[in-house]
Structure 1
Amino acid sequence: MNQSIETNVAWWARGLIFENCSCQAVCPGHVHFDQLCYNDRCIGYWAIRFDEGNFADTDIAGVNAIIAYDSPPHMIEGNWLEAIMIDEKTTGPQRAAVESILTGRAGGPWAILAGFVSEFLETRYVPILIEEGEKTKRVVIDGILDSTITELKGRDRSKPVTFNNMYNQIHPPEQALGTGTSHYDDGSIRFDNTGTHGLYSYFEWTVTPE
């Protein structure tokens, strides 16, 4: 893993984040890591599209990334396995910046999640396609991941079903609920989900070192 970036860097980012895991309906671990997930493992991913952002002087707009994870059902116990993949179209400085953010070395919300990770697999650089439809979000990494998140249908069909005032480290207070179908296999983490927990939001992360 690239360790060349210092952690005392000012950075910010805005964009789209969506997820799917093996839990039914709403993942209990999404509400709080102290809640017990439904299965023997909670296995899933986060897909991230950086629409705007800078890491020091490095522009990270346009970067796509995913984090796949495999955790015990009581997520607060830690011992997570994580795999980070970053779009191969990125430059060297962009790769180093995004890896530093997502491993938590640059502080911010991912630093809190990194405290639960016992092993990061080696970061991979692969083509990552993220598509945003009116009611769907999709991410594809050929030969590794194909996943679609579909919004739940609410009483007002023109609006997504949402959480409001939800506390979460990486998502803002408002999050749109959905269901997800995924196939993922990177050789170390594997899952096939159908109609399980899914949601998305539009994040804003900022770190300003003292």
Structure 2
Amino acid sequence: MSNWWAEGLLFENCNCTAVCPGHIHFSQRCTHEVCHGFWAIRFEGGQVDASAPVDLTGIDAVIVYETPPVMVEGGWKQLIIVSDHATDDQREAVEEILTGVRGGPWAVLARFVAEPLPTRAAPILIEDLPARKTVTVAGLLTGAVDAIRGWNRDKPVTFENIYNKIHDSTQVIAQGSTRYDDGGIVIANEGTHGLWSRFRWTGDG
């Protein structure tokens, strides 16, 4: 089930101060005893070859998670939210990618998930501005990441040539905020770790 590709925008916020140690490597201890945050995903292109090709263009998704401080130890709790305008085939394809069923980079992260919660469909609003990315799921999530200022105000502060399974090797460093409450996972972040990149994923990793 590895015949697929996808590309678009990926941004995140968690409750770690400054840069999340777990972002550098899952073996690094995060700032708090519980790390919680989100990944927001806008599929700007992509195709999954199933019984018929499934186009992912225009679909948004959010992954909300709660992990122990050393992420590589596993025990993650995770919830996936997919755009409510997605067709059944699109929702299934996105869910299979983000749970690692179809291989690729998310298959690595899926090994650490101990408590996958049922996937939800909801209206997702993502705004992609030059220095700010926001995501809203009405009644559930509001999140934002803002680029930090560098010496040259016309250029973002970035990580270059950094290894990460789901992000591009160039990532914009940001500060973020999150408000989220589904009755199980509750997040209230302010001025904490944030970043974004443009991704390209395939079923080969």
Q: Calculate the TM-score normalised by the size of structure 2.
A: 0.97
Secondary structure of 2:108's counterpart equals helix
Match of 1:39 among 15, 32, 38: 32
Q: Answer yes or no: is 1:141 the counterpart of 2:137.
A: yes
Q: How does 1:51-200 map to 2 (within 5 A)?
A: 51-56=44-49, 57-200=53-196
Match of 1:15 in 2: 8
Report the CA distance between 1:208 and its aligned residue.
5.0
In structure 2, the gaps of 5 or more residues are none
Match of 2:17 in 1: 24
Distance in 2 separating the partners of 1:105 and 1:207: 10
Q: Answer yes or no: is 1:203 the counterpart of 2:199.
A: yes
Distance in 1 separating the partners of 2:144 and 2:90: 26
Deviating beyond 2 angstroms after TM superposition, the runs of 4 or more aligned structure 1 residues are none
RMSD: 1.0
Q: Calculate the TM-score normalised by the size of structure 1.
A: 0.95
Distance in 2 separating the partners of 1:102 and 1:20: 18
Distance in 2 separating the partners of 1:205 and 1:145: 25
Encode CA deviations 1:159-181: one digit per residue, 9 max, x unaligned.
Answer: 11000010001001100000001
Distance in 1 separating the partners of 2:204 and 2:173: 31
Secondary structure of 1:39's counterpart equals coil
Report the CA distance between 1:119 and its aligned residue.
1.1
Q: Check whether the contact 2:103–2:204 (CA below 8 A) recurs between aligned residues.
A: no
Report the CA distance between 1:37 and its aligned residue.
0.5
Secondary structure of 2:40's counterpart equals strand
Report the CA distance between 1:10 and its aligned residue.
0.5
Distance in 1 separating the partners of 2:74 and 2:203: 24
Encode CA deviations 1:28-56: one digit per residue, 9 max, x unaligned.
Answer: 00000000001011100000000000011
In structure 1, the gaps of 5 or more residues are 1-7
Aligned residues: 202
